[in-house]
Amino acid sequence: MKRCPTCNRTFTDRNLSFCIDDGTPLIPVPPDEDPTVVAPGSKGPEAGDPGSESHSSNWNAPVYQPPGSYVPPGSTAKRSTWPWVVAILGIVLIAVVGLGAAVAIMVPRFMRASANRNRSPVIVTPGNSNDSNSDSNPSSKTNANSDEGANSNGDSNANTGENLNPAPTDSAKVLSDLRDLEHEWTVANINADKKALDRILADDYVGTTDGGTQGKKQYLHDIQRDTSIEKWDFEDLKVDLKGDRAVLTGIVKFIVGGSEQKYNFTDKFVWRDGRWQATASQVDPVK
């Protein structure tokens, strides 16, 4: 027999551990006590009276549901809060590590970029081996520019720009380079290779042939493929080198249909963008 310490009701069901009214754990009744036992389903005269113990413990009462496990106050809040705290701390830690890595990568780049902006540019002035003497005498550059005639204005502007690749100063080397360039020029003329001609000719190029002049744009427009030339060669090549300008003179010989044709030519070049470019040419038949 068991008794509820809260409502003092007694129960004879050995399998019952909690009071069916308030859920309080039942305690065993000592044998020396003789309480009035109310068995479920009693048929006594007062069994059906409302408010009696037998009435409240009637078998028609709702099925008993044992209370859940006892949870101390405050334990639920602790269990549901600490995972969020750990997650927030993890996110903060990841953000701090990512920010530190970004700073470590970007700061050196900004420092290098700032150093490059503050560094003074190195300007190399084109000229021959006596650059110190020629630079101190501005009249020498003026005279060199005036030799170009109608092209003096465009070439003088080109000289004022920065040139990180100074012009060659060895006349023998310049003569060899210009000879190779003349061969490329001839091949481009024969094949009407406008791309190669656009690279060889300067933008301010002016050519003179049979007393007429022709600019670069017209030159590239009128060029036609010539399959009649069987062979060519150059003779008596001479170069006059003055700083970043060179004048090449000589004779070009063509073999056309088994016969030989010779022309005197004078080609003028300027050193721009790290290479020689033709600014003028004049071709006359050899009489």
Q: What percent of the chain has pLDDT over 70?
A: 66
Whether 264 contacts 234, CB under 8 Å:
no
Confidence label for 24 from pLDDT (cuts 50, 70 and 90): confident
Higher confidence at residue 99 or residue 127?
A: 99
Q: What residue segments make up the domains of the chain, in order of their start? A: 1-70, 168-285
pLDDT of residue 152: 43
Query: Which DSSP state fits 165?
Result: S
Whether 167 contacts 178, CB under 8 Å:
no
Confidence label for 128 from pLDDT (cuts 50, 70 and 90): very low
3-state SS, residue 252: strand
Whether 3 contacts 10, CB under 8 Å:
yes
Residue 141 C-beta-side C-alpha neighbours within 13 Å: 21
How buried is 211 (Cβ within 10 angstroms: 0-12 exposed, 13-18 middle, 19+ buried)?
A: exposed
Cα dist from 284 to 40, 44, 117, 211, 252, whole Å = 140, 149, 53, 9, 10
User: Could you tell me which of 182, 143, 146, 153 has the C-alpha nearest to residue 266?
Assistant: 182
DSSP sequence for 179-247: HHHHHHHHHHHHHT-HHHHHHHEEEEEEEEETTEEEEHHHHHHH------EEEEEEEEEEEEEETTEEE
CATH for 168-285 is 3.10.450.50
Q: Which residues pair with 153 in a beta bridge?
A: none
Residue 132 predicted with pLDDT over 90 = no
What does pTM read for this prediction? 0.43
Query: Which DSSP state fits 49?
Result: S
For the segment 123-137, the average pLDDT, to the nearest whole number, is 39
pLDDT tens, position by position, 66-117 = 555 555 555 444 456 778 888 899 999 999 998 888 888 887 877 777 666 6
Confidence label for 245 from pLDDT (cuts 50, 70 and 90): very high
Please provide the size of the chain in residues.
287
For the segment 203-220, the average pLDDT, to the nearest whole number, is 90
Q: What percent of the chain has pLDDT over 90?
A: 38
For the segment 8-21, the average pLDDT, to the nearest whole number, is 82
pLDDT tens, position by position, 256-278 = 988 999 999 999 999 999 999 99
pLDDT of residue 32: 66
Residue 154 predicted with pLDDT over 50 = no
State how far the Cα of 252 lies from the Cα of 181, in Å rounded to an integer.
13
What average pLDDT does the chain have?
74
Q: CB neighbours (10 Å) of residue 95?
A: 10
Q: Which residue has the tokens 């050519």?
A: 207
Whether 268 contacts 150, CB under 8 Å:
no
Range list of H helices, the chain: 53-56, 75-118, 131-136, 138-146, 152-160, 171-191, 194-200, 216-222
Residue 126 predicted with pLDDT over 70 = no
pLDDT of residue 141: 39
What does the CA dihedral 149, 155, 160, 162 come to, rounded to 10 degrees?
A: -160
